[in-house]
Amino acid sequence: MTDGPLSDLLVLDLTRALAGPQAAMMLGDMGARVIKIESPAGDDTRGWGPPFIGDEDERESTYFLSANRNKESLVLDLKTEEDRDVLARLVARADVLMENFRVGVLDRLGFPVSRLHELNPGLVVLSITGFGHDGPEATRSGYDQIAQGEGGLMSITGTEKPTKVGVPIADLLAGMNGAFGVLAALHERATTGRGRVVRTSLLAGMVGVHAFQGTRWTVAGEVPGLAGDHHPAIAPYGLFETGTAPIQIACGSEGLWRALCTALDLDVTDARFVSNPLRVQHRDELIALLEAHFATDPAEHWLALLAEAGVPSGKVRTLDDVYAWEQTRSQGLLLSVEHATQGSLNLPGSPIRFDDNPFSGGRSAHLAPPTLGQHDESIREWLDS
């Protein structure tokens, strides 16, 4: 079907919403053939909006478009014996099956793991849940907003009150972790010849990115609070107001702090700021001192000065600015695809790029997200061949 490092793989994507579709799309970006199996009603995200594009009878959700490139769409009603038989035939040919049903749903549809591996001993199964497949709260539904709160991320995000991240980060991380686990299982299969079940969850994704905030509690016994716009363990490292717009500075070493002092003509011997722990302790005073300097000139002036001094800094871009930015485009992070009903579309690209490919992802060309059931006929013909 295509090229790419995973072009020999067939992935069955039975997932909906975002975590599972993200995982499947990542494999599709690398060249895998991904068949998205949808109910007659379609993936939930086909109805999530606005915004939508296209006429009412052919409208597409931009939410759906964000997570389903490089896939084919096959509609199956798994409540019918006929379509369950189609799925069984697909399972026999597949390398990977991904699902994010609530615990027990796939079993009730007639496809417990034992049967999947009877049909195909080499099948790698990815199962994504909200809070894990076992434990006292395994049956809870998994929604990103809930997981961000339950997993602790919101307790360290924001300034005056807990704040969710501006994208469904629990879903996205679960998808990324799932794709990583699948590739590990496929690598193992090359030796053993057998597949296995890979499990992850939205909760696991949240806990997995606690990083130093997690060890503040598990090791030091300190419960982190809202981090706001400044790093809780490094200063100066955060957002600063200027005469026109905010800028960001990251002084991650003593050398960079000294470079900042030289650039701004600050007293590097000020006893309050001579070490990072002291700067963190006196953070509010340091912010006030820096912003008093920055208030005198526009952001562009300070960014140029800091760049010349070698101090890491940057602006806060809006998304329209990000996608117009030449650096973004130079990395192949904006893809042009031809959609079946909407024509030419620009989509955000894969974050992975290979040395022999000017585009992000592992393919030389990318497929637009499919319309519902777009590939019903071609997939059934292939299955019968």
Residue 29: which CATH number?
3.40.50.10540
The domain in which residue 257 lies consists of 247-315
Are both 93 and 197 inside the same structural domain? Answer: yes
CB distance 90 to 377 below 8 Å: no
pLDDT value, residue 356:
79
pLDDT value, residue 1:
45
Are both 150 and 76 inside the same structural domain? Answer: yes
Are both 63 and 195 inside the same structural domain? Answer: yes
The ranges of the chain with pLDDT < 50 are 1
Strands, DSSP E only, in 235-361? Answer: 237-240, 247-250, 313-315, 334-339, 343-348
User: Residue 35: phi, psi to the nearest 5?
Assistant: -105, 115
Last residue of a domain, one of 315, 339, 373: 315
Last residue of a domain, one of 315, 348, 363: 315
Last residue of a domain, one of 265, 293, 315: 315
Are both 149 and 255 inside the same structural domain? Answer: no
Average model confidence (pLDDT) across the chain: 96
Give Cβ neighbours of residue 47 (< 8 Å, ≥ 6 apart).
Answer: 61
Are both 30 and 120 inside the same structural domain? Answer: yes
Residues with active-site annotation: 171
Are both 108 and 145 inside the same structural domain? Answer: yes
Q: At what angle do helices 81-93 and 376-384 cross, to 10 degrees?
A: 70
pLDDT value, residue 123:
98
**What total of structural domains would you count in the chain?**
2
Are both 342 and 301 inside the same structural domain? Answer: no
Is residue 214 situated within a structural domain? no
Is residue 61 situated within a structural domain? yes
pLDDT value, residue 83:
97
Is residue 218 situated within a structural domain? no
CB distance 259 to 309 below 8 Å: yes
Are both 191 and 45 inside the same structural domain? Answer: yes
Is residue 241 situated within a structural domain? no
pLDDT value, residue 2:
59
Is residue 344 situated within a structural domain? yes
